[in-house]
Amino acid sequence: MSRLLAPRLQRLRFTLFAPFYDAVVRLDGARRRSLELLALGPGERVLLVGAGTGADLPLLPDGVRALVTDITPAMLDRARRRARLGHELAVMDAMALDLPDASFDAAMLHLILALVPDPGRVLAEAARVVRPGGRIVVLDKGLAPGQEASPLRRAASFVTRLIASDINLRLGTLIAESGAPVTVVHDEVVGFGGLLRATLLERN
């Protein structure tokens, strides 16, 4: 078994969680800021990886074409209610995207890297399908560059990982270990006293 829940167990967990997700996870301010960093323009094609119930969809600018993916059909059933013209939905494993190389202008990784068994693979897959010069935005729970987790935070992470979420994500380490061809353009705190960060990456 991987460091977090295996994909089959993740699918079961989020199938059960789907009806309650929107009531529990309310991060519109952080999502808006992340989208501001991504700066999507009309006609651009964006990939939403692990989009869950589609909470980001109402925030997408008009004229943007979006492919909304998640491994859990029950989540996408709820996302479909928020979809607009130009939004497509597909059940897909973030660690093995069934998509051609360089086929998107941008990708959104909102609250997905801290959940998956192999976040490096997810990041590398997102980079593979984004064109050179395109952008990837990561919104997730993690540490600032060079930051060390406090003993309390390490203890809390031990508990949260049992629930399948790592709060001590090190994005710089993931980039280096995965070999994802991306460069960090901007990184900032967007909530939870520094726990939640938005990071803009550029595809090399």
- pLDDT over 70 at 10, yes or no: no
- Residue 44 vs residues 22, 60, 109, 135: alpha-carbon distances, Å: 27, 11, 17, 11
pLDDT in tens, 102-136: 999 999 999 999 888 899 999 999 999 999 999 99
Q: Give the start-to-end residue ranges of the domains of the chain.
A: 7-203
Angle between helices 171-178 and 119-129 (to 10 degrees): 70
Give residue 157's pLDDT.
Answer: 60
Tokens representing residue 37 in the block: 């960093």
pLDDT in tens, 128-174: 999 999 999 999 998 877 777 666 656 556 555 555 567 788 999 99
Q: What angle do CA 198, 109, 140 make, to 5 degrees?
A: 45
Q: What is the CATH number of domain 7-203?
A: 3.40.50.150
Pairwise CA distance, residues 35 & 91, whole Å:
23
pLDDT in tens, 48-98: 999 999 999 999 999 999 999 999 999 999 999 999 999 999 999 999 999
Say what the pTM is.
0.85
